[in-house]
Chains A and B, each alone.
Chain A
Amino acid sequence: MNRRDFNQLLSMGAAGIMIPSLPAFSRSVSPEALLEPGLDVAVKKRLADAALNAAKSMGATYADVRIGRYLNQFVLTRENKVQGIINSESFGVGIRVIVNGCWGFASVGDARNESVVAQAAKTAVSIAKANARLLTEPVQLAPQKGYGEVSWKAPIKRNAFEVPVKEKVDLLLSCNAAAMQNGANFVNNVLFQVNEQKYFASTDGTYADQDIHRIGPSFTVTAVDPQNGKFSTRNSLSSPMGMGYDYLQVNPSDKQTGVTTRYNKGYDMLEDITLAAKQAKEKLSAKSVEAGKYDLVLDPSHLWLTIHESVGHPLELDRVLGYEANYAGTSFATLDKWESKNFNYGSKEVNLVADKTQQYSLGAVGWDDEGVKTKKWDLVKDGILVNYQAIRDQVHIIGEKESQGCCYADNWSSVQFQRMANVSLEAGKTPLSVENMIKDVKKGIYIIGDGSFSIDQQRYNFQFGGQLFYEIKDGQIVGMLKDVAYQANTREFWNSCVAVCDQSDYRLGGAFNDGKGQPSQSSAVSHGSATARFNGVNVINTARKI
């Protein structure tokens, strides 16, 4: 969280509450304002043309413009209290140009007439000219055909902003009450909803109008044992999704039952929070894990984060090349490994794909933020590293003729750059259920839900926790464990993958706020998988005495 934004928000009336910050340059509005239509598409085209023409007339060899309206709503509760409802809107224009072989970018808020956007285009051109003096190699932009006037809309059934705030508050408070009745001492429950209305235009001749929706319910239930001075928590097993309020519709066919219920495209918050309260209590007296090697059975609600950190990030080409060296780092997956065509990223069971078109995913759009039509492509095929994620000004480095369509800016005020596509582990091709997978495990741990996560700056060494840990002995789940974290090396870990369950177990997990870049930008991305088994992974015990 940006400390300055947070301080500002606190000073604006939300004192004492841990509340997410308002996005950059956004304003607080009424819930009704979130349903007001944005600018008409014809007006947006006129503004875009004004910016593009201004840039071209000042010497730009390429220009693109993004007119963005970003709407957010947070509903924040704890126990039986509403802590806050935050509605925000942010509107503005970002213009990117190439002049003298160098990028320039400028943005302007509340730009509703041609002269304002033309002025921003001028600023972008002047920045490009200034930076060209320090240039070592000119920008090489992969060619891109223009698509004319096109549009894309997220496949939502119920727009979350059309749902009255009261309905949302009632849902959260009734769930909180269920948690308290089932043994929770505290519960924090938040609903976050996003609508990005983005208009993109470029000198290539694409005018893409897109309407993107995301929803993210999440809670933490805490159980306290005051006599022993101990506490434990259990977070929701929901995932942020590229869906509308329809994600909160309970649907039995979206449930995977078992040791606890896990969810696909429909999330039953009441059921999950009730189970969470009982499990948080159970955790207090669970057996502390004995450190050692275990076979891990990882549920998709957990494995998404391991995929995100150990596959999604290291296969970003800009990281491989060194553009993130001063912040998030570089990558072990260097170009020579890819060029060798025989680098075993994982075992033969491991097929990892990047996909900007996957339905209900957080990263799905029709066109990316530089006008490239989105697609799906292989990253790791039968265990071998075959590709990266790259955008127009870098894709020539890996011999591709067109961008893979994964360019994104988190706001009109931010410059677009390479961001992670939805990166997912493909389900196994032979039928395999979770039950049958567990039956074969002699000494193992079944992990559900994401927890603590950390990985080095080249993505070799990682450590992950989780929400629920179950001990497997001789093919049976024998009880709950606690104090579990596993440490591994990315390549060793993916090569220890011996089985992936079939498509019937495939589900999406995801991150609402993946950070990258300086100044830091946030992006939302999904990662799908079915439950997968990894043999002989090092597990540590995290209990300490202070």
Chain B
Amino acid sequence: MAIILTKEEAKKIIDKVLSYSKSDEMSVNLSGGRTGNIRYARNAVSTSGESTNLSLGVTSVYGKRSGTATINEFDDASLEKTVRRAEEIAKLAPENPEYMPMLGPQTYLNTDPYSENTAKMNPDYRAQATFESLDPCRKKNLTAAGYMEDSTRFNAIGNTKGLFAYNRETSVEFSITVRTADGLGSGYATQDVTDVSKLSTKNMTEIAMQKAMASSSARALEPGKYTVILEPAALVSNVDASLMVALVRSMDARNADEGRSFLSKKGGGTRLGEKLFDERVTIYSDPTNMEVPSGAFSGDGRPQEKITWIEKGVVKNMPYSRYWAEKKGVKAIPPGGNFIMEGGTQSLADMIKSTEKGILVTRLWYIRPVDPQTLLYTGLTRDGTFYIENGQIKFPVKNFRFNESPVIMLNNLEAMGKPVRIGGNLVPPLKIRDFTFTSLSDAV
């Protein structure tokens, strides 16, 4: 059986499984995909692999008791057996008082997060892309460590209430760290795409090489409050927690209503409608955006729509679980599949040019929450930190530890550049005043 089923193939299997149901409600999730990866370090490939998976999950429900069973065999007997097993598990499960009845048919937007170019990637393609990254580093006596992972997958859900949804999706993530031979300089670049033809490992490696060479022999500056230019990789990470994702994911309405969120209001309730950020801050989700397309439905079948979370600094919407939305009598808005932060038209070079004194930050690393009350996070600069004076990069500086909240950061906004894709989202480089560095690090 193919690993990426078409909408019609997926529906046929799901309909068959649904016909075996004897429970009050039943949903079927059919998903499959292929991922490939190649990893290199010390200028040589270290590991590489490919894996495929196709599986079907059945969730049966009696009242408020639910049970799930999964299978990766697709003959009629195996499918029916899986339904019976889910029903047995459901009957024995404890009641979930917050269980919500399944959704009926939904209307979904047309989204297209799929690329045939990516779906066709093979080991030779990965090896060539790696060679294009390794070769320039070897020639300049620099040391490359990188990773590329591609994924082609589909997901379909259906239930006994008539809901059916199908999505297919591709993605490629690439990151490269280049270090100087003496270990005194390090540079990083990353790119993620839906269509692999838009990815150039060579160009990314070139950026990382330049940063590595330029960051060698950094000078120490006193920690304190600085104007910083945070590149998009310093705001969103493909591999770690990040300030912007932390902010967007901390907006859940229930946590705020329960009094345990930065969006909880003194005296009770939430801060929906309050202006909490600089008026230039607007953040929304849009599954149909051509640069960062995402799936048309959330995991529980709710449609993904264009939704504005923060508009001109004001909290406009918050995600709700279906249970909490019903309890509060509001629309159950699911968390977005992507997010887009509006920016300006300036390039990074323009932003540097207009900076009298400041620090350019390539990326932030090991970002962890310190205080959920204020969304205070700590972490460090890494792989390319530079001092700017009179519109020019003057010299590399040693890395800093920061303690900062994205809420405070987005109030201290000086300027925004042109948004770029990172981690499946669109984020502009930001110039922030009074960003708090609390100590120095010797790490390169």
Chain A residues with a Cβ under 8 A of chain B: 4, 7-16, 25, 27-30, 81-85, 103, 105-107, 109-110, 127, 130-131, 133-137, 169, 185-186, 222, 224-231, 233, 321-327, 329-330, 332, 334, 413, 415, 417, 452-461, 463, 465, 483, 485, 487, 489, 518-520, 538, 540, 542-546
Is A16 a contact of B376 with CB atoms below 8 Å? no
- Is B63 located at the chain interface by the 8 A CB criterion? no
Q: In the complex, what distance in Å separates the CA atom of A326 from the CA atom of B205?
A: 12
A129 to chain B, nearest CB (A): 11
Is B376 a contact of A544 with CB atoms below 8 Å? yes
| A133 to B, closest residue via Cβ | B127
Is B442 a contact of A460 with CB atoms below 8 Å? yes
Is A224 a contact of B258 with CB atoms below 8 Å? yes
Interface residues of B in 85-100 (CB under 8 A from A): 85, 88-89, 92-98, 100
| B258 to A, closest residue via Cβ | A186
Is B262 a contact of A546 with CB atoms below 8 Å? yes
A456-B39 contact, Cβ under 8 Å, with A28-B68, A222-B260, A326-B177: no
Interface residues of B in 420-444 (CB under 8 A from A): 438-444
Among B43, B134, B375, B438, the most chain A Cβ lie within 10 Å of the Cβ of B438
Is A16 a contact of B408 with CB atoms below 8 Å? no
Q: In the complex, what distance in Å separates the CA atom of A448 from the CA atom of B102?
A: 44
Q: A134-B134, A417-B47, A457-B443 are in contact. List 6 more A-B contacts (CB 8 A).
A: A13-B68, A27-B55, A133-B127, A323-B42, A456-B399, A519-B37
A15 to chain B, nearest CB (A): 4
Is A16 a contact of B47 with CB atoms below 8 Å? no
Q: In the complex, what distance in Å separates the CA atom of A542 from the CA atom of B438?
A: 11
With a CB–CB cut-off of 8 A, which chain A residues contact B53? 25, 109
Is A544 a contact of B374 with CB atoms below 8 Å? yes
With a CB–CB cut-off of 8 A, which chain B residues contact A109? 53, 72
Q: Bin chain B's interface residue count.
A: 35 or more
Q: In the complex, what distance in Å separates the CA atom of A323 from the CA atom of B57?
A: 37
Is B438 a contact of A540 with CB atoms below 8 Å? yes
A81 to chain B, nearest CB (A): 5
Chain B residues with a Cβ under 8 A of chain A: 27, 29, 31, 35, 37, 39, 41-49, 51, 53, 55, 57, 59, 61, 66-72, 85, 88-89, 92-98, 100, 123, 127, 130-131, 134, 143, 145-147, 149, 151, 153, 155, 157, 175-177, 179, 183, 186, 239, 258-260, 262, 264-268, 276, 298-301, 321-324, 365-376, 378-380, 382, 399, 401, 403, 405, 407-408, 438-444
Is A327 a contact of B373 with CB atoms below 8 Å? no
Q: In the complex, what distance in Å separates the CA atom of A456 from the CA atom of B55?
A: 39
With a CB–CB cut-off of 8 A, which chain A residues contact B369? 452
A8-B29 contact, Cβ under 8 Å, with A13-B66, A83-B96, A134-B134: yes
Is B44 a contact of A135 with CB atoms below 8 Å? yes
B70 to chain A, nearest CB (A): 4
Quick one: which of B69, B94, B382 contacts A457, CB cutoff 8 A? B382
> 20 A-B residue contacts at CB 8 Å?
A4-B151, A12-B57, A12-B70, A13-B57, A25-B53, A81-B96, A81-B97, A82-B94, A82-B96, A322-B41, A322-B145, A323-B145, A325-B186, A327-B147, A334-B183, A456-B399, A463-B438, A518-B147, A540-B438, A546-B276
Is B368 a contact of A453 with CB atoms below 8 Å? yes
Is B27 a contact of A13 with CB atoms below 8 Å? yes
Quick one: which of A4, A25, A229, A518 contacts B37, CB cutoff 8 A? A518
With a CB–CB cut-off of 8 A, which chain B residues contact A28? 57, 68-70
A134-B130 contact, Cβ under 8 Å, with A15-B100, A15-B322, A456-B399: yes
Is A226 a contact of B259 with CB atoms below 8 Å? yes
| A127 to B, closest residue via Cβ | B48
With a CB–CB cut-off of 8 A, which chain A residues contact B405? 544, 546
Is B260 a contact of A231 with CB atoms below 8 Å? yes
B43 to chain A, nearest CB (A): 6
| A461 to B, closest residue via Cβ | B441
Is A454 a contact of B366 with CB atoms below 8 Å? yes
| A22 to B, closest residue via Cβ | B70
Is A131 a contact of B373 with CB atoms below 8 Å? no
Q: In the complex, what distance in Å separates the CA atom of A334 from the CA atom of B46?
A: 21
Q: In the complex, what distance in Å separates the CA atom of A356 from the CA atom of B55?
A: 36
